[in-house]
Amino acid sequence: MEMARSSVPLIAVLCVSLLPLAAMATGTPFHIEGCVYCDTCRFGFETIATKYIIGARVRIVCKDRVTLKKDVVGEAVTGRGGVYKVAVKGDRQDQQCFAELVDSPLRKCQVADPGRSTATVILTRSNGAASTRHFANAMGFFRDKPLRGCAALRRYYLADGDSRAI
């Protein structure tokens, strides 16, 4: 009887300490954050000439690994600095999820960069990450024609000075 009494506080402490984890697993949404830019030099990466887009539309899509069925689980529009934020409810377990570009409001920057048009996002609590805030890689659109000065900028970014790469 005395053994049972001494283990009651231990059990109570364990139950109370597990409550936040149980609450987190069920109702707390994931918060995805990323940004969208216009690649003004068509380099395929962000530079000092990059312009961040206000008003670009982005969606979060998850694909079932077995059926390959895609579901849109969130959508957003970029604000200041080209930043978007999306709250996604529910744990996506073993699904492949990604942010993808929908469209750009800039007339001269409409074509999505094929190498930067999506960004993988993790929407599960089964991976050891404690935070519900996740960051997606930046995604970009190509400008129709590169700005003047992009050739000089390319030389600036060449680490070994190899101008033959231009």
pLDDT of the residue at 117:
97
Query: Residue 128 belongs to what H/E stretch?
Result: none
Let me know the angle formed at the C-alpha of 134 by 130 and 136, rounded to the nearest 5 degrees: 150
Can you give the pTM of this predicted structure?
A: 0.79
Token duo for residue 83: 């930043």
Is the CA virtual torsion 60, 63, 64, 67 positive or negative?
A: positive
DSSP 3-state percent helix, strand, coil across the chain (nearest 5) = 25, 35, 45
- Confirm if 53 and 36 have CB atoms less than 8 A apart: yes
- Confirm if 138 and 34 have CB atoms less than 8 A apart: yes
pLDDT tens for the chain, 166 residues long, are: 555 556 655 555 555 454 445 444 556 899 999 999 999 999 999 999 999 999 999 999 999 988 999 999 999 999 999 999 999 998 988 899 999 999 999 999 999 999 999 999 988 888 777 788 999 999 999 999 999 999 989 888 886 655 565 5
pLDDT of the residue at 106:
97
How is residue 82 annotated by DSSP?
G
pLDDT of the residue at 23:
44
Token duo for residue 7: 């283990």
What is the identity of the amino acid at 158?
Answer: L
